[in-house]
Structures are given as structure tokens and as C-alpha cells.
A = this chain, B = another copy of it.
Amino acid sequence: MAYALGLDYGTNSVRCLIVDTSNGRELGTRIYEYETGEAGIILDPSDHNVARQNPADYLKGVEVTIAGAIAEARKADSKFDPKQIVGIGVDTTGSTPLPVDKNGKPLALLAEFKDNPNAHAWLWKDHTGYAEAAEITALAEKVYPEYLAKCGGTYSSEWFFSKVLHCLRVAPQVFDAAYTWVEHADWLPAVLTGTDAPDKLRRCRCAAGHKAMFNDDWGGYPNAEFLAKLDPKLGKLRATLGDKTFAVDEAAGKLTSEWASKLGLTAGIPVAMGAFDAHLGAVGSGIKEGVLVKIIGTSTCDMVVAPSSTKLPDIPGICGIVDGSILPGCYGLEAGQSAVGDIFNWFVNYIQPGGKEAGSHQSLTEKAARLRPGQSGLLALDWNNGNRTILVDQRLTGLLLGQTLHTRPEEIYRAIIEATAFGALTIINRFEEYGVKIKEVVNCGGIAEKNPMLMQIYADVTGREMKISRSAQTCALGSAVAAAVVGGAHPSFSKAQAAMCGIKETTFKPIAASHKVYQQLYKLYKQLHDGFGLKDKSMAMGNVMKDLLTIKEKANA
């Protein structure tokens, strides 16, 4: 028997999953909620953009969740022995970089910086670097447009260099104290394998390629000269980043005996290179050529792979095209919607239509399910948190249209669900327009599992069958797949996925009559999408949302 252990660091908690490598059976699992801040996030009431995390929570999570998962696995199978675990895989959120000192120790764990949020991990959804993102985009457009071509044409405030540069500007004492910055996805495997000293550290292809403009075509990370134009100190940081990155089929190192004895595992088992949660989630959902994996949560990640031998064009508006970021030997293509579940949550938690009970997700879903496509006369844009793909514009805002004096909450609820489905279709169409054929769609994440109405709407809107990943914890399962491969239980990702991953029996097939109505509605959605979203001045409405934001910013000044 060979078991694989996957660690999945999410936004508010970390999960450990122990999986039978021969059949994907999930023996034991355990979640640990981060303790610092609100729901594990260090916030700043005076600045909505701040979102930091305490690396101490990441460390405590290792011990708590592995011990818990082992205990559960033992209960599930009396023959289970943690010594049968052959490897560890790790996924984390990202870009979530943290400043570390010369020894690789996070500044946040030093007494001097422990109360300084700038010295902590800068969580993916920290947007404090929005001005720096614009600066990086503007500079790259001028001098290295190829840097942007691989990441959709715009460098995001969520990404590595925006955050590092912002820290340099607002907290120079932190920046100066840091030897380098390390992604959470790189740091955690390095800690477990004792390779966290900067000269030993291996950085993963996934984070570097998708969030830090790493590409072998131009020698890895952006060159020092480019970075120095943003700030000379950033130019100097370039040397600490190295020139090589590693895909998830390689090991970051071997589990140290210290950690092994602490965790009750075998010393020396390999720990796979880390990757982002969505990327390993795609692996856990069985991603392969032709399969789109949609990870549907507060936002979505839409993941596709194409063999590295393919001659792929740049695809405008796609978040990243990175060789080896999802599966070794394949380009990983990442797209996504900036908000999906978050929009439904906004409506339920902020608007609270009819009060808390009548306006619950459950109650609204029940009523919305009784409506026919097109019946409400409503149409919405899914832009309450901007548009990640294909417009790459975080400053776009929501829109609801068609309301009368009789419009009811459940109609609005359904309209925003439909809007996210239209957004999903727009992404699928973009892939296909550029020659990346989508033959199959596999969904995962809580919303996909728990809301059959939503899945049916997605099927009806896209005209495609919606499948759902069998595992309820696909990210951790994907980490376990990587663990199984580096641990030698399977010779390749495809073999490991075939053994360990699968889809649920129930799928959602498009209903022809509904699809026909949604095709008409989608035409109108696309008209609004292009009219309000394209920067092209010939579109009548392209200025409206931005002008409103300018007015809003002045009103708040």
C-alpha cells in the first residue's frame, strides 16, 4: 500500500488529505483555520486593499492537519500506517509572497517585525499595489511588451512584483531587511525539506510563470535592468530570484528527519514542488488536453492545458500561459472570473433581500429554480469585482438591467447566476477562438457540488455537459497526485490521475429549449460586455463605469 499526502493552503484555512494512490480513496482529512486576524487574514479597517497572513499559521497548520488526518485515516482503516505515506504535495494561494531574511526565515517570525503587517505574507487578494501594477504594466508595454503578452496584457495588483514594489515604497525598512521574497508555495515545501535557505531554495514554475513574468524565452524572470527602472533596489532583488524554476513533477527536497519525527512520517520521503491551489485543483479534477477545469468558489479559476509541443498563440485576456505550470510537458493556461460566489454572497449578505431567512442562498435558490430562462426580463453583468478574463480590468463594476416594479429578489439572484454563466461562456469562447479546443468541462468547488440549479444553468448557457469532480477536495487531491508521482507510486501524472481522480456519476446536460433562450440572452450580454467593457472609444458606453469611479474617488477624497 502506498499513500500520498496533500496539503492545501486556502485563503482562510489549510487542509490535509491522505489518499490511497492506487484508487484515490480519501482515508483521512483535517482542516485548520488560521488564527491570526479575521478568518485568518490581517486586515486594515482604513484600507480595504490590505490582506496579509501570518506564516506562523502556515507552520502550525502543518502539524495540526497532518496529525488530524493521520488519526482519521487510522480510524478509517486499522491497517493504515503513516509510514506508508510515500510523498507530500503542497498547494497554496498565490501570488502570496513573503519577505525572508538571509537564512530564509520569514521576517514576520522575527521579534522585530512580528507586529508589522508589511513583514507578513501578502495574501493573493491584497490589492495595495494597484498603482505599482499600473506602473509595471506601463513600463512593460513600452520596453518589454512580450512580458505582458503571456499574462493577458496587464500586470495585476495581485501579483508578485506589484506587492514587492509596493512594500519597497511604503515600508522600506521591511524591504531593506528582506534578503529576498518567496512565494508561500515555494516556502512551505522548502521548510519541510530544509531547503529554505536562499541558496538552496527551489522556486516553482507555476508561481513564477503566472505571477512574476518568468519565461525561459527571455531568460527567466524579467531582467534586472527592467526592474531597476521601477526602482534600483528592485533591480538588485533580481539576483536573489535565480534563473531556474521547477514543475510539480520534481521534488523540492526530502522531508527532514526533524519534521518526520514531529509528524510521525518517514524521513527522506520527497516533498513535491509547490503550486497554486487552482493548478493542483485542476490536476485533482483530472485535467488533460481538451478538458476545461472550472474551480468555482468566491471567484473562479478556469484551467486548460495544451501539449508543450503545440504552437500556441498569445491569447488576449488570458491570465497566463506557462509551460509546466499545471502538468509537466504541457502549457498551463489560466483564466478566471473575479467574482462568482462572491456576487451571490454580496446579494445575500449585503442586500439581504427579504431579511436573513427569506434571503438565504437556499431560499433564493429554491424560488429561482422555478423560473424559466428569460422569464424575469433581467440581465446582469458579473463584474461586481471587475473582470479578470477576458477584459482584464479590475475596475469594471456590476450592472443589472430590466427591472420593473414587480421584480423579485429570486429573479435578481437567478440573473446574477446567469451572468456568471455568461462570463464562463465568454472564457470558453476565447479559448476556442484561439485554437484551444474545449471538449469537456469538469467543475469543482463547493458551489459546483451544492447547487444543481447553477450547474444546470451553466450547461444550458454554454450548451455543454457540466461534469463535477468526484472529490470534494480537488486541490488537496491534486497535491496528493503530485506527492504520488514524486514518491514513485505512479510513473506519470496521467497514470496517477487515471488511478486517483474521477468525476461524479451525475452530470448536467444542456436542455435544448433553455439553451436556445440563453443563446438570445447571451447576444445581449455580449453587447453589454463589449459596450461597457472594451476600451475602444467607438463603443458608446466604454467610459461610463470609469467616469463613475473617478467621481466616486473624488467624493471619497
B400 x A400 contact (CB < 8 A): yes
Copies in the complex: 2
Taking CB atoms, residues of chain B closer than 8 Å to A547 are 520, 523-524
**Stretch of A199-207, A374-382, A421-429, A502-510 that contacts chain B:** A374-382
In the complex, A264 has a CB within 8 A of chain B: no
Q: Which residues of B contact A544 (CB under 8 A)?
A: 379, 401, 524, 527-528
Task: Report Cα–Cα, A549/B554, bound state, in Å.
Answer: 37
Measured CA separation A375–B541 after assembly (Å): 21
Contacts known (A346-B407, A544-B401); A377 close to B517, Cβ less than 8 A: no
A170 within 8 A of B: no
Within 8 Å CB of A517, what residues of B?
A: 551, 554-555
A521 CB within 8 Å of chain B: yes
- Per CB-CB distance, the 4 closest pairs between chain A and chain B, nearest first, are A355-B355, A540-B540, A377-B552, A374-B555
- Tell me the A51-103 residues at the B interface (CB within 8 Å): none
Which of B350, B376, B545, B555 lies in contact with A407, CB distance below 8 A?
B350
Interface size on A, residues (CB 8 A): 61
Q: Please name all residues of chain B whose beta carbon is closer than 8 Å to the beta carbon of A354 when the two chains form the complex.
A: 351-352, 355
Q: Is the CB of B384 within 8 A of A405?
A: yes
Is A343 among interface residues, defined by CB-CB distance under 8 A?
Answer: yes
Task: Report if A385 contacts B (CB, 8 A).
Answer: yes
- Could you mark each residue 514-557 of chain A with 1 if its beta carbon is under 8 Å from any beta carbon of chain B, else 0? 00010011011001100100000001110111011101101110
Query: 10 A-B contacts, Cβ less than 8 Å apart?
Result: A346-B406, A372-B555, A372-B556, A375-B555, A377-B552, A385-B405, A400-B401, A402-B545, A402-B548, A520-B551
The answer to whether A540 and B551 touch (CB under 8 A), given A346-B407, A399-B401, A406-B350, is no
- Is A223 at the interface (CB under 8 A from chain B)? no
Could you give, for residues 26-52 of chain A, a 1 whenever the CB lies within 8 Å of some chain B CB and a 0 otherwise? Answer: 000000000000000000000010000
Are the C-beta atoms of A352 and B350 separated by less than 8 Å? no
Contact of A352 (CB < 8 Å), options: B345, B358, B403, B543: B358
- Min Cβ gap A529→B in Å is 12
Residues of chain B with a CB closer than 8 A to A374's CB = 551-552, 554-555
- Minimum CB distance partner of A346 in chain B: B405
Q: Which residues does A use to contact B, with CB under 8 Å?
A: 48, 339, 342-343, 345-346, 350-356, 358-359, 372-379, 384-385, 397-409, 412, 517, 520-521, 523-524, 527-528, 531, 539-541, 543-545, 547-549, 551-552, 554-556
Can you name the residue of chain B whose Cβ is closest to the Cβ of A385?
B405
List of B residues within 8 angstroms of A548 by Cβ: 377-379, 401-402, 521, 524
A349 nearest CB neighbor, chain B only: B405
A376: nearest chain-B partner, CB-CB: B552
- A350 to B409: give the CA distance in the assembly, Å: 7
Contacts of A545 in B (CB 8 A): 401-402
**Could you list 7 further interchain pairs (A-B, Cβ under 8 angstroms) beyond the known A345-B405, A379-B548, A517-B551?**
A350-B409, A352-B354, A397-B403, A400-B401, A400-B403, A521-B551, A524-B547
**Given A372-B555, A373-B555, A547-B520, are A409 and B527 neighbors across the interface (CB < 8 Å)?**
no
From B356, B375, B403, give the contact of A355 (CB < 8 A).
Answer: B356
- Residues of the B chain whose Cβ atoms lie less than 8 Å from the Cβ of A555: 372-375, 517
A377 touches B403 (CB 8 A): no
Whether B398 contacts A404 by the Cβ 8 Å rule is: yes
How far, in Å, is A357 (CB) from chain B's closest CB? 8
Contact B408 A350 (CB under 8 A): yes
| Pairwise interchain contact B531-A541, C-beta atoms closer than 8 A | yes
